[in-house]
Amino acid sequence: MKDKIPNTPFAYIWYISRANKWSAVIAVSMIVLAAAIDQSTNYFFKLIIDSAEANDFDAVFLYAFLFPIVIFGVQLLYRLSTFFIRRWVTKNRKISYDILTNYALNHSHAYFSDRFAGSVMNKVSNVVMAAETLILDNMWSLIPSTVGFLVSFVFILQTSVPAGVAFLLLIAFLLLINKKMSIKKRVYSRAVAQSKTELVGNIIDIFSNVQAVRQYSRRSEEQIRVEDATSKHLSDHSRTWGYSEWMLFYNCIVLFIFSLLMIWFLVLNWQSGEIGTGDFIFVISLLASITSPLLNIGRAFNSVAQATGEMQEGLEDLLKPNEIVDVTDAKPLQVQNAVIDWNNVSFLFENKPVFTDFNLRIEPGQRLGLVGQSGAGKTTFVSLLLRQHEIPSGEILIDGQNISKVTQDSLRRAIAVVPQEPALFHRTIKENILYGNPNATEEEMIKVAKQAQAHDFIMELEKGYDTLVGERGIKLSGGQKQRVAIARAMLKDAPILILDEATSALDSESEVAIQKALECLMEGRTVIAIAHRLSTLRKMDRIIVLEQGEIVEDGSHNSLSTAGGIYEKLWNHQAGGFMLED
C-alpha cells in the first residue's frame, strides 16, 4: 500500500479493507439477504390468517411448517456471515497496526519530542479499535436495520399507501435528526479521545520515570496530576454519555407517538373493512419487529459518531504529512572514505538562528571533538547530520553526496551513534546487541561484547545474554548500558561514528572500561565526539570549539589547551574532569 493513506474514517476503512474486499463483499451480501428474509417472515402471519379465514387448513399447516425453517435459514446466514466478518476484521486490525506504526515511525524527531510516547500508541490503538467498532456496528445494526426498514416500507405501502408514506416520513425524520445530532456527538467523542490520550500519556510518563518520582518524593504531586487528567476525561465522558442518552430518549418519544397514531389509523381502516384481518396483523407485526431497530438506530448513530470521532482525532494527528521525506529519485548513500562536508549551512530552531553559513570539512578517518557551552549548537550539529531536521539553505555532503538527496535509511545505516543515555529495548541483552546487525552470528555478537568490555558482566548475570534488561535498560547500571550500546554500535560496523557525551554521566571506574571499548570502536572510522568531560577528547585528532553556532577555535588538544582561548579556559576550569558552565 504505497499510495496516500486516507485520514477520514470511512475512507480509511475502505483503504485497509481492500486486501480483504471479497470477505467484506460476501459478509455484507449475506447480512443483507438475511435481514431481508428475516423481516419478510412477518408475511407468514398474514398467509396463515388469510388461509385460516378461507378454511384452507392445508395451507395453514404448510406455512406454519415453513416458518421455523425460514427462521433457521436466516440464523444460519447470520452465523455463516460471522466467518467472513471475522476474517475481514482481524486482517484489518493487523493491516491497520502495521501501516499506522510504519507511517508514524517516519515522522521527524520533533514530532515525537512534542508528544508522550504513550499518547502516540494510544492514538494508534484508538484508530484500530474504532475502525473495528464501525464495521461491527454497521454489520450488526445499521445494515440490518436499513434493510428491515426498506422491506417493511414495501410491505406497508402495498397494504396501505397512506401508512407506507407515513412510515417513510418517520424513517426520513429519524435519520435526519440522528445524523444532525451525531455531528455534535462526534465533537464530544473527539474531546473524550483527546482527554484519554492525555491521561494515558501522563500515566505512562509517570511509570517510565518512577525512580525519579520516588527519589524526589513526588508521588502525591503525580497523583494530583493524574487526578486532574482523570477528572477532565470523566467530565468529557459524562457529557458524551448524557448526550447519547438524550438521543435515545428522543428516538423513543418519536417512535411512541408514531406507533400510537399508526395503530389508531390501522384500527380505523380494519373496522371500515379497507384492510383485512391478515393485513392488519401483518402490519402490526411489522411495526413490532422494527420497533427495536428503530430504537437502536439512535444507539447505532451514537456508537458510529463516537467511533468516527475517536478515529478522526487519531488519524488527523498520526497521518500528518511526514516532515522529512526522501526525494523521488533518492538513491542509497555510498560511503567509501566517510568525508563529511558542511557547505554554507544555515539552520533556525524555534525561529532562532543556530548555524549561519556554517562550513566544515571532516577528513576520512579523522577523530573530531566538539566542545562548547550549552546552547552552542553541538546537539543540533549531530541532529542535522542524521537528518532529523531539514536545513533551509546550504548542504551537508558525505563523500560528495548530499544527505538530503539520499535515502534516510541508507544515511542512518552509515552512522552509528553512542548517546549519553543509551536507548535499550525491554528485550534481552542479546536482542539489544543484535539490533546493530540482526544477521550477525552469535560468535560475532560475543566478539563485540568482549571488545566493548561487556562480556564479563553479562556472563555474571543469571541468564547471561538472555537476560531481560527492563524498560530502557533499567535493570542495568549506567556503565553496563553504555557498554551494551557500544557493542551494538560495533556490530553495526558503520563508517561514521558519533559519540554524544558517551562517558559524561559515568563514574571513573566505568569510564576506564568504556574508554577502552571506545578506542576499539573508533578504529578505522570517521568520528565525531561531543563531551563535557574534556579529558575524553585528548586523543582526538582535531577539536573545534563552537560558540553560538560558529567555529571559534580549531586545532588539537595540545595546541588549544595552551592557546589562551575558550578551550584553555574550559580546560583550566574543569573539576573532576567536567566542564564548569559559566
Using a 10 angstrom Cβ sphere, with 0-12 exposed, 13-18 middle and 19 or more buried, the burial of residue 205 is: middle
pLDDT in tens, the chain (582 residues): 457 899 888 899 999 999 888 999 999 999 999 988 888 887 777 777 777 777 888 888 887 888 888 889 989 998 999 899 989 998 998 999 999 988 888 888 778 877 776 778 888 888 998 898 888 877 777 788 888 888 877 887 777 788 788 878 887 887 788 777 777 777 887 788 788 878 877 887 777 676 667 665 677 888 888 888 888 888 888 888 787 778 778 777 887 887 788 778 778 877 777 777 777 777 777 777 777 777 666 677 777 777 888 888 889 888 888 888 888 889 999 999 999 999 999 998 878 888 999 999 999 999 999 988 877 888 889 989 999 888 999 999 999 999 999 999 999 999 998 887 888 888 899 999 998 899 999 999 999 898 888 898 999 988 999 999 887 788 888 888 888 988 998 898 899 999 887 665 455 556 676 777 777 778 888 999 887 667 778 788 999 998 888 999 999 888 888 888 888 888 877 644 444 444
Listed in order, the ranges of the chain carrying CATH 1.20.1560.10 are: 9-318
In the chain, residues under CATH classification 3.40.50.300 are 340-572
The Cα 524–Cα 512 span in angstroms is: 21
d(CA 58, CA 95): 56
- SS3 at position 572: helix
- Closest by alpha carbon to 49, among 275, 267, 229? 275
* Domain 340-572 falls under CATH 1.20.120.1200: no
Rounded-to-integer distance, Cα 316 and Cα 310, Å: 10
Task: Yes or no: say if 313 and 193 are a contact pair by the CB < 8 Å rule.
Answer: yes
Cα-to-chain-centroid distance, residue 552: 44
**Whether 545 contacts 566, CB under 8 Å:** yes
d(C-alpha 369, C-alpha 579), whole Å: 14
Look at residues 356, 491, 389, 474 and name the one whose alpha carbon lies nearest to residue 431.
491
CA distance 455 to 312: 49
By the 8 A CB rule, do 148 and 38 touch? yes
**Within the chain, how many helices (H) and strands (E) appear?**
20, 10
Torsion sign (Cα): 247, 253, 255, 258 = negative
Q: At CA 220, angle to CA 215 and CA 223, rounded to 5?
A: 110
- Determine the Cα–Cα distance for residues 389 and 409; give it in Å rounded to an integer: 15
Which three three-digit cell numbers place residue 577?
574532569
At 567, the amino acid letter reads Y
Helices 508-522 and 442-451, packing angle to 10 deg: 120
Residue 385 near residue 528, CB atoms below 8 Å: yes
Q: How many CA atoms lie within 13 A of 397 on its CB side?
A: 16
Q: Which three cell numbers stand for residue 350?
A: 524555534
* 125, burial (CB in 10 Å: exposed 0-12, middle 13-18, buried 19+): middle
Residue 532 CA, chain-centre distance (Å), reads: 36
Contacts of 252 (CB under 8 A, 6+ apart): 295
- Name, in order, each residue with C-beta under 8 angstroms of 135's C-beta and a sequence gap of 6 or more: 13, 85, 88, 89, 92
CATH class of the domain defined by 9-318: mainly alpha
d(CA 385, CA 411): 9
Q: How many whole angstroms separate alpha carbon 271 and alpha carbon 301?
A: 38
